Chain A
Amino acid sequence: MKYLPLIWAGLWRKRLRTVFTFLSIVAAFVLFGVLQGVDAGLAHVRDLQRLDRLFAGSRFGTPLPISIGTQIEAVPGVTLVAPAHGMGGYWRDQKNGLGIASIDKRWFAAIPEINVTKDQLKELSQTRTGAFVSVACAEKYGWKIGDRISVTTNLPQRDGSKIWTYDVLAVFSQEGRDADRYIVSNYSYLDEARAEDKGSVNYFVVRINDPAQSAEVSRAIDKLFMTSGTPTRTFSEKTSGQSGQNSSFSTAFFIKTVVSAAFFTLLFLTANTMMQAFRERIPEFAVLKTVGFSDLTVFTIVLAESTLLTVVGAALGLTIAAFLMPLAKDTIGIAHIRPIVFYYGGVCALLVAFVSGMVPGWRAKRLNIVDALAGR
């Protein structure tokens, strides 16, 4: 600790160089934070997806009779079947898109991650046009409990109108899907009011008792309806998630590869600059050793300098990234950087500090005072 002023003085010896090096470290770690933030966020979403939750949809996009739910229930391994009708729509303007899931109370048993209270569930069952809206919807469109919202869809009601009205009863959050804009409403309302395809849904959420059996149960369900008029296609949430988000993943993967290469280049260059700075100061270290500093102390001072610079730079960079992240919520769908990213960032920073301080530090430790003072 008593060497802190010395380390500080060493850093400020060439003010501009230190500032620029520091700023490039900050830039590199902003990049790191944002990139890993997105990556860790997507990975977390994947982790939350379950193998023991299946989605049985229509193989060809034709409507499925709600009655086949009982047949699915009879498939061995199935513990719960929740019928659902999903559709897209928008609020006021085409850019304000959202999804509408029309369901009954079994939905909440199948997806317990949706946090709503018993009282709210009761209220939904008693309010025909009631709806729970996701946090993202509430934030983006400014909806509050008690609001009445009109959503334009593609599904006509009996009077021909494609505008559906809902009363907001609750705002719900769902871990890993905090950027999804959708609302949950009563299937009974949808089915009673719509003009066509009454008594049908477009998918069933199916819970099974053994995640290891997810592929077998999926096949058994599809086999059951293969020759019926309404063939199904069943995926576990995990596999559907993987193939459904496949397109954004392939884009993300490409960007990630390119950008991580760039991050390491940036770090490498910064380390290179720091090493060069130390080399120029070899005679100074010789002076320190002349006045009695031990080899180890000189080595430690060099390492401490590089550590201070990179660690503070990394901390600032990651902090900036944490503030930038929410801005990209709409385009990327990840609102927060997960703590693990800061941990990785810290490890990365220490690694850079070590690599860039090690070589010059070693040289400073080993240097011959007479040669170094003479500038040889």
Chain B
Amino acid sequence: MGVLKQIAAVTLLTLQGVPQRLGSSLVIVVGMAAVVAVVISVLSMSSGFLESVNKTGRADRAIVTNSGAITESLSSLPRETIRVIIDAPGVKRGGDGKAVVSADIFAYQPVTKKSDGLLIYATIHGIGAEAFVLLPQIKLLSGRMFKPGLREMIVGKMMQSQLEGLQVGSNIPLPDGDWSVVGSFESDGDQHESELLGDAETLMSSFRRTSFNSATVMLDSPDAFDIFKDALSTNPAVSVDVTRETVYFAKLSKPLNDFLTLVAFAVGGIMGLGAVFGALNTMYSAISVRTTEIATLRAIGFGGVAVVVSVFAEALVLTLLGAALGACLAWALSSGIVVVSDYYIYTLVVKPSLIALGIVWAVLTGVVGGLFPAIRAASLPVATALRGI
């Protein structure tokens, strides 16, 4: 008990002294805030992107592409292959006995961004009649559904809010003439919200294509994936890759995610080193200012442990304060910002896990920055220190 009391007393005393060392203490707080703000802001990009992309995938859906195709848009599936997919085992069938399969096509059109007037490629996604059974998350917000056979599309709310000329009633020029936007929809924040959806067959004839890009399949259950995949891969009539939707989207988001993670940790790491050196400097100067005080405490019977803990506590309080400041800054800076890029539109998200990461980072900096100064503080020879030499 005595030790705990000592620790409490010395720590309180130390912390009360912090305002007197404001200048150098700020070095830790501001430095830590900068590191945490950078790491969190950059990672909020990747977490926002991942959240939107990963939401799009479900374990009980599968994507079929031609064998070797890297993405859906680079794939090509002839009608005969689609028929084989529809008849394959493991595919869920609706009440009317129809297979819940959508043969998809993808096309990209340059559209002007509202924010800066630059062109980006917007995704036009042609879907089959069963698509709304397949994608139950899609809900109309305004207007009406497109009618197959007519030049009509509906627009995701994310895309509509970020790109020009996509209000309900506006026209989009495609190869066979103007298509009209007849409705807008939301789909639980997934990637479909940054797409234009239309009827695949009608879009195919507009773009003069003879084959689909890919097919999306609802499975009987997540476990039916292997049955479905085996049936298609052992069928000599088709040459396709079958990927579970969750896996497909995880793979799709990997490059950007890897890049952002690299940036966050490389930049955060370099800055973190700078912050550690700054913290070491501050803590060394803090104990050097407090030399007489510490020696006095030791002389009147306070133990080395109490002194060590007090130095650690000071370092940790300052780094955590900085981390909190940095997290707030990152949140204010990036939360809610919408990134509009070719093919993808997503919102930055500062997740609690990122804030936790910032705190861990701060604790590490505090521990390293406090460790050596604490050891020095505890091993000060009392007699010499008291003489102020």
Chain B positions 6 through 34: 1 when the CB is less than 8 Å from some CB of chain A, otherwise 0:
00000000000000000110110011011
Q: Is A146 an interface residue (CB 8 A)?
A: no
Q: Does B227 contact A (CB under 8 A)?
A: no
Q: Which of B27, B31, B267, B282 contacts A259 (CB 8 A)?
A: B267
Name 13 extra pairs, CB < 8 A, besides A246-B118, A247-B120, A250-B339.
A24-B278, A60-B175, A61-B108, A62-B207, A154-B69, A247-B342, A251-B260, A254-B337, A258-B333, A265-B31, A269-B31, A273-B282, A328-B266
Q: How large is the interface on A (under 10, 10 to 19, 20 to 34, 35 or more residues)?
A: 35 or more
Q: Which residues of A contact B340 (CB under 8 A)?
A: 250
Are B34 and A273 closer than 8 Å at their CB atoms?
no
Residue of B24, B108, B175, B267 near A276 (CB, 8 A) is: B24
Given the complex, which residues of B lie within 8 Å of A262, measured CB to CB?
Answer: 34-35, 37-38, 267, 271
Does B23 contact A261, Cβ atoms closer than 8 Å? Answer: no
Residues on B with C-beta less than 8 A from A259 are 38, 267
With A and B bound together, what is the CA distance between A88 and B69 in angstroms?
A: 10
* CB-based contact B339/A233 at 8 Å: no
Q: Nearest chain A CB to B108's CB is how many angstroms away?
A: 7
12 A-B pairs in the complex with CB atoms less than 8 angstroms apart: A28-B274, A154-B75, A247-B120, A247-B344, A254-B334, A255-B263, A255-B267, A258-B42, A262-B37, A266-B275, A273-B281, A331-B258
Report the count of interface residues on B (CB-CB < 8 A): 60
Which A residues are in CB contact (< 8 Å) with B38? 258-259, 261-262
Q: Chain A: interface secondary structure? A: helix
Q: Does B160 contact A (CB under 8 A)?
A: no
Chain B, range 119-160, C-beta contacts under 8 Å to A: 119-120
| Given A243-B110, A254-B45, A261 contacting B34 (CB threshold 8 A) | yes
Q: Which residues in B have some Cβ–Cβ distance to A below 8 Å?
A: 23-24, 26-27, 30-31, 33-35, 37-38, 41-42, 45, 66, 68-70, 74-76, 107-110, 118-120, 174-175, 207-208, 258-260, 262-263, 266-267, 270-271, 273-275, 277-278, 280-282, 284-285, 333-334, 337, 339-344
A61 touches B34 (CB 8 A): no
CB distance from A318 to the nearest CB of B (A): 13
Main secondary structure of the interface of B (DSSP, over half): helix
Q: Does B27 contact A273, Cβ atoms closer than 8 Å?
A: yes
Contacts of B333 in A (CB 8 A): 258
Q: Indicate if A209 sits at the interface (CB-CB under 8 A).
A: no
The answer to whether A276 touches B23, judged by C-beta atoms less than 8 angstroms apart, is yes
Q: Does A293 contact B (CB under 8 A)?
A: no
Alpha-carbon gap, A27 to B274, bound state (A): 5
